[in-house]
Amino acid sequence: MKGHDTALVDVSDEVLAKSKLAITKSLGRIQEKFSQDPKYGYLEGAEVFMSSALKRLTLTTDMKAFVESADIVIESIVENIDAKKKLFAEVDKVAAPKCIFASNTSSLPIAEIASATNRKDRFGGLHFFNPVPVMRLLEDTPGFIVNRLLMPYLGEAVRMLERGDATAKEIDQAMEMGTGYPMGPFKLADYIGLDIVKLILDGWHKRFPENRIFQPITVLDKLVSTGKLGRKTGEGFYKY
């Protein structure tokens, strides 16, 4: 969307086909908006924007072919430190010395991930927010301000549900109406993915076992273990 040639690398063509669909759908929403805006030349300008953005994007399973000439590599795989280190060690062998590495991790320490590479001086965190085309924050601050506050808040909402204090719908309604949040905690957790929320909380629990706020939550663990991960699987706290 910003004019850079980009390659999206994933492990299977099936996943890439799903990604292409999601990206096309998302760009379609933006095209729809631009098609009514004189600044973009209405429909014609909107169509050019959409097709040129898609033309700049390559979807591939061949990591090496694109990494060799990349200026920046942004990793966004599973929230597991060993998996991330293994991937970066591989990418480090192929990428040019000037190439900058970044992780989209939501909670893991950047310095530890970078330790798997020989470019600790060209390694950072680039943390995007869902939905990425809309949210204006890109966080690279040590400590991850948003998730450090957001995850305990989501966890406390689930504990409230677990205690039977209120239903998910009631809690969402209260936060939307009382604090002006666009989505209550259960809608947001389903949107982020319950597996992601659990991985982040579990990771912190391992690092800070004495902190009550990161303790595992039965309701959340149950949903994740039965494959109810939120919007992406059609069911989480809500059905979609």
Q: At what angle do helices 194-207 and 218-225 cross, to 10 degrees?
A: 130
CB 226 within 8 Å of CB 178: no
In the complex, minimum distance from the CB of residue 127 to ligand CAA, in angstroms, rounded to a whole number: 6
Pattern 63-102, binding to ligand CAA, x per CB under 6 A? ----------------------------------------
Pattern 127-166, binding to ligand CAA, x per CB under 6 A? --xxx-xxx-----------x--x----------------
Pattern 12-51, binding to ligand CAA, x per CB under 6 A? --------------x--xx--x------------------
CA distance 43 to 36: 7
Which residue, 83 or 96, has its beta carbon nearer to ligand CAA?
83
| Residues in binding contact with ligand CAA, number by CB under 6 A | 18
Which residue, 29 or 64, has its beta carbon nearer to ligand CAA?
29
127 part of the active site: yes
Spatial neighbors of 222 by CB under 8 A, at least 6 apart, are none
Tell which one of 31, 103, 106, 117 touches ligand CAA (CB under 6 A). Answer: 106
CA distance 152 to 72: 32
In the complex, minimum distance from the CB of residue 134 to ligand CAA, in angstroms, rounded to a whole number: 4
Closest to 76 in 3D by CA, of 25, 21, 15 = 15
Closest to 58 in 3D by CA, of 18, 8, 23 = 8
Choose, from 47, 90, 139, 235, the residue flagged as catalytic.
Answer: 139
Residue 91 has a CB neighbour count (10 Å cut-off) of: 21
- 54 makes contact with ligand CAA (CB under 6 A): no
Tell which one of 175, 188, 223, 224 touches ligand CAA (CB under 6 A). Answer: 188
CA distance 149 to 189: 14
CA 68 to chain centre: 25
106 part of the active site: yes
Active site residues: 106, 127, 139, 147
